[in-house]
């Protein structure tokens, strides 16, 4: 574990970098700015290391970030429709940060905060952030803790513990963009993706779920058997057109509330493989359709179209406006406690 000053925010708050190196020489970097997972350096099949996270390597870059690279997103990741949320008959309007129409990522409240930190040991850092009652329109105070651990088995473990003092929706996630070839290796369309989901949630033109639960069968959304991300991405499918590619919630199988594998990604070029686990019912699979090269990332490489993919563990988006979805409503007796694991290997 090494800790060093990374930079300062516009209002002068100190941002620190935390690097955890394991016994094999693999390492991750964390920032208390946005409780960010900023780097994952793991070996390919020849033992050569590369950083598989697309993002930024300077404080200036972090401050220019608009697409949530590596950040902890909350209080409610993904979209909430413009009508806000209604709890016990009372409507709460949530900040509409997208064209004044709807909410994305809770207006980035968590991502732009400098979190408190606590080094828990050689392999683990806990970040904490207090979100006040009323922030972005959400009811109830909410104390958040996100703990990152990097194991000798090249597992990145993320533990969320978010405790409100009254009813409020919570859907905290990590928004890392992965490229198993390394951040500078081009687009991710040749990665092989497997997602254990028989259903997904189609969305409207604002990328908000319509409420339908649709079978993936005979659609480009069938990743039950591994296939290249790019294989069907250009199909003339209405949902792919709306999302400009994959940007959809998948309904993960075997939801019990316990951790289980939900996806496997393999890069045939490097041999790197990522196996993914969550205890939540859904995941947003996004492939950087809105990345256009206009932002400059690590090593001064531009963040080009589809140069990273995301697997954001979650409750289905906008669930409080879709009563048939599992409801991500929590309270003082029922905290949001969740685990995500990304495990890296090579073959």
Name the site residues for a copy of itself (rule: CB under 8 A). 196, 198-199, 213, 251, 253-258, 281, 323-324, 326-331, 334
Catalytic residues: 175, 312
CA distances from 17 to 4, 24, 116, 152 (A): 5, 21, 12, 20
Given the complex with a copy of itself, which of 246 and 315 has the nearer CB atom? 315
Q: State the CB neighbour count (10 A cutoff) for residue 90.
A: 9
Q: Encode 247-286: b = buried (16+ Cβ within 10 Å), e = exposed.
A: bbbbbbeeeeeeeebbbbbbbeebbbbbbbbbbbbbbbbb
Dihedral sign computed on CA atoms, order 185, 19, 38, 123: positive
Query: Residue 249 CB, nearest distance to a copy of itself (Å)?
Result: 14
Q: Which of the 8 DSSP states describes residue 12?
A: -
Largest CA distance in the chain: 59
Burial category of 333 from C-beta neighbours within 10 Å (exposed 0-12, middle 13-18, buried 19 and up): exposed
Q: Distance between CA atoms of 50 and 56, rounded to whole angstroms?
A: 15
Q: What is the DSSP string of 315-344?
A: SPTTGGG-TTSPP-EEBTTB-EEEEEEEEE
């Amino acid at each position: 574990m090494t800790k060093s000053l990374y930079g300062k925010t516009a209002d002068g708050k100190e941002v620190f970098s935390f690097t955890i190196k394991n016994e094999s020489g693999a390492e991750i970097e964390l920032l208390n700015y946005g409780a960010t997972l900023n780097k994952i350096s793991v070996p390919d099949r020849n033992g050569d290391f590369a950083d598989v996270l697309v993002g930024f390597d300077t404080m200036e870059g972090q401050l220019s970030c608009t697409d949530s690279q590596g950040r902890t997103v909350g209080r409610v990741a993904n979209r909430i429709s413009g009508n806000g949320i209604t709890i016990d008959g009372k409507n709460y309007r949530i900040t509409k940060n997208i064209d004044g129409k709807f909410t994305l990522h809770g207006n980035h409240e968590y991502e732009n905060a400098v979190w408190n930190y606590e080094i828990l040991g050689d392999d683990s850092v806990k970040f904490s952030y207090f979100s006040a009652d009323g922030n972005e329109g959400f009811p109830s105070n909410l104390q958040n803790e996100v703990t990152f651990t990097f194991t000798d088995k090249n597992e990145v473990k993320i533990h969320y513990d978010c405790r409100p003092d009254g009813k409020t929706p919570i859907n905290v996630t990590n928004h890392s963009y992965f490229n198993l070839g390394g951040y500078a290796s081009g687009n991710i369309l040749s990665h092989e993706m497997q997602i254990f989901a028989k259903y997904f949630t189609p969305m409207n033109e604002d990328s908000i779920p319509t409420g339908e639960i649709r079978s993936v069968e005979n659609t480009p959304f069938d990743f039950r058997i591994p296939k290249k991300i790019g294989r069907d991405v250009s199909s003339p499918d209405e949902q792919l057109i709306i999302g400009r590619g994959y940007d959809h919630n998948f309904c993960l199988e075997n939801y019990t509330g316990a951790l289980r594998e939900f996806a496997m990604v393999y890069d045939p070029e490097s041999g790197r493989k990522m196996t993914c686990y969550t205890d939540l019912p859904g995941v947003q699979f996004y492939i950087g359709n809105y990345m256009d090269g206009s932002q400059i990332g690590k090593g001064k490489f531009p963040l080009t179209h589809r140069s990273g993919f995301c697997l954001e563990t979650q409750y289905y988006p906008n669930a409080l406006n879709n009563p048939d979805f599992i409801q991500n409503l929590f309270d003082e007796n029922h905290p949001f406690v969740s685990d995500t694991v990304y495990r890296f290997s090579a073959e």
